[in-house]
Structure 1
Amino acid sequence: MAILLPLQIIFIRLLAGNEWLIESWYSRGIYPYISRIMRWSLGILPFSFGDVLYTLLVIFSIRWLIKRFKTRFKKPKEWIVEMFASLSIVYFCFHLFWGFNYYRLPLHQSLDIDNEYSTEELVLLTEKLIEESNKIHREIVQNDSVKVDIPYSKAEIFDVTVEGYDHIETNFPELTYTGRSLKRSLFSWPLTYMGFNGYLNPLTSEAQVNTTILPFKIPTTASHEVGHQLGFAKENEANFIACLVTINHPDPYFRYCGFTFALRYCLAELFRRDRELGEKLIKTLNPGILKNYQEVEDFWLQHQNPFEPMFQAFYNRFLMVNNQQEGLRSYSYVVALLVNYYEDVENAF
């Protein structure tokens, strides 16, 4: 079994260069069946089976290390083979159950959306998102200086998240979501101090949400993780899907979260290109929206710790190894998808 690990790595490196093959035989072929089976079977559990599995893996790993220290790492041939055999199994399961999705076609090709845009198009979209955000903000709170509070419990937010996918599946059949497996992470507290909103467990296909974060952030986070469940592995693609689902949601609070989420991406990219214009446009936002942005910033500042950069750097490296060269910094591609999505919508009418 141990010898299979380097063979797997070579095989995946060779296969990774053929996006069409992975898209056809895995992402649109066997993966939807694997994912649905996992979601239907584990989604009925009221807790995260994946988190329990991770806990057991950590316990067994610690026991294994203790045993090695007690024996002073004697008989290296035995424990090295044992270690690589275990890694080989995990590596195989990771790719079979989900990981091949990292090498599928880019989302703009899957959804038939362009991925190029100009600064002028970026400015026009940013102005449109500001207009929409201000409008729905006033509709909800009737006061442009008051921040929006999500009136749902965290469990209710999960239910409403699924409704968003039901609403959009007619126009985007690729986003059809059946067999709900969207759960609160048992590790929400440590995830907060690691700087993460949520994650998908690739071994169990459970979408995990850190429910200690502000309710304002849960709609887009939950939608993001469901996007991962549906086979869109890259962070920037899942972020665009979160925008797509929430801005088209029938619920006004979800639309507010979606528009302001998309707007942050556009503003970040605009500030990178033209800071003066970005500062000018942000002044046209309702003060209440800025308060929602500020409370998110304050939340993460309150939970900063010396180890967070280490976790972020580790995950960033993980993303780069798995075909996401920009790692966590992927504003431009999300914005490109948003710009061209809106252009397609406007041209359809």
Structure 2
Amino acid sequence: MKMNLKSVIAISLLPQILLVKWLGSHTDWIENYYSTGIYPFISKIFRFVFGWVPFSVGDIIYLTLGILAITYVYRNRRRIWTNKLLFMRDIVMVLAIAYFTFHFMWGFNYYREPLQTKLQLTETKDYEELVGFTRRLIKKTNELQFKIAQDTSKIVTTPYSQKEMVEKSINGYAKISKKYAFLTYEKPSAKTSLFSSTLTYMGYAGYLNPFTNEAQINGLLPNFRFPVVTGHEIGHQLGYSAENETNFIGYLVTVNNNDDYFKYVAYAYALGYCLNDVRRGDKEVFNALLKELNGGVKMNFQEMSNFWDSYENPMEPVFKAIFNSFLKANNQAKGIRSYNAVVSLLVAYHRDNPL
């Protein structure tokens, strides 16, 4: 019996998965032919097409597809009920198309050469080195907090609009690209998400839409976090998929900005991750380091904590679990914990580039 096109596409999902895993085992192929080959061309085209639009085209597409899917199921509910296998075939067909499109448009970057290799960094897990680095970070963060606020107990309020912060982040990329050409960012396409409230309830600060190549930032984020998240999402745009790597890129771009507010945000961002790792190693050391922080810095950290707490809901752990599984399925063995792996990159980088 001759199969129709829908069945052929649906059946293609399994060989697609096997092919992706096989290609993903050849990191050099992905790096040379995809991540630094065809992907930059794809990315620039979509940034050029959608970058000038003041709102998120990808969000509109997601919303439209969601409405169409719900409408289709509702209108065809009786036929679906009587032809369950055909409906399942159609679902698998859609997944096959999405799987192919996702990997061609961006997803193969999950299998590229690690950033630490490109930067020639030697990562270590030495706890004493971490503590020493964290102390230096505290010193830098305290100094900038006092320089800006002129009072160690005063919270730092970043005075820029979100549009200005995006522009400054783009300028930060222009500066850092002089040292690292692979961070050159042309045809900007960074904007706040239309679904910022939804993202916040899900516990996300932003995301890259792989189908429109738009860097989406949660528009509800406090300014204390907005610049590094912008840098992080643009890092995804440039083809870096691992969360620890884009955390590092977001820090690197922000800390190398000429603006003191941005530098402060970057140092505090890195400090938060480092303190978390210190606490896991020794709570007494963590408590001692915490006492060294200026009151104003603590207030900024509390600002972020209060922000996320105000949106806490029973579904957030579910969304986090789904994202954790997604990351693990895409070559990030640590899943959502890979965000914290930025610490070893920070320590290794500043070993050769002192604070």
The normalised TM-score by structure 2 is 0.95
Check conservation: 2:148, 2:156, Cα contact below 8 A: yes
Partner Cα distance (1:331, 1:93) in 2: 26
Number of the residue aligned with 2:102 = 94
Number of the residue aligned with 1:290 = 298
Distance 1:331 1:125, change over 3 A: farther
Partner Cα distance (1:57, 1:95) in 2: 19
Unmatched tracts of structure 1, length 5 or more? none
2:310 equivalent to 1:323: no
1:243 aligned residue (251, 257, 263): 251
Deviations 1:158-199 (A, max 9, x none): 111111111100111111111100011000111111111110
Report the CA distance between 1:246 and its aligned residue: 1.1
1:40 aligned residue (38, 48, 59): 48
Distance 1:180 1:331, change over 3 A: closer
Distance 1:346 1:191, change over 3 A: closer
2:291 equivalent to 1:314: no
Report the CA distance between 1:284 and its aligned residue: 0.5
Check conservation: 1:227, 1:238, Cα contact below 8 A: yes
Report the CA distance between 1:68 and its aligned residue: 4.1
Partner Cα distance (1:279, 1:106) in 2: 34
Q: Secondary structure at the match of 2:104?
A: helix
RMSD over aligned Cα, in angstroms? 1.4
Q: Secondary structure at the match of 1:330?
A: helix
Partner Cα distance (2:256, 2:280) in 1: 27
Deviations 1:102-140 (A, max 9, x none): 111111012221122411211111011111001111110
Check conservation: 1:269, 1:331, Cα contact below 8 A: no
Number of the residue aligned with 2:3 = none
Matched AA of 1:130: I
How many residues are paired up?
A: 347
Q: Which moved more, 1:257-266 or 1:333-342?
A: 333-342
Give the 5 Å matches for 1:197-236.
197-236=205-244
Report the CA distance between 1:70 and its aligned residue: 2.6
1:334 aligned residue (338, 342, 345): 342
Check conservation: 1:224, 1:241, Cα contact below 8 A: yes
Q: Secondary structure at the match of 1:73?
A: helix
Partner Cα distance (1:231, 1:30) in 2: 11
Deviations 1:272-327 (A, max 9, x none): 11211111011101110000000110111111111111111111111111111111
Partner Cα distance (2:339, 2:210) in 1: 24
Number of the residue aligned with 1:257 = 265
Give the 5 Å matches for 1:88-167.
88-167=96-175
Unmatched tracts of structure 2, length 5 or more? 1-8
Number of the residue aligned with 2:181 = 173
Check conservation: 2:51, 2:187, Cα contact below 8 A: yes
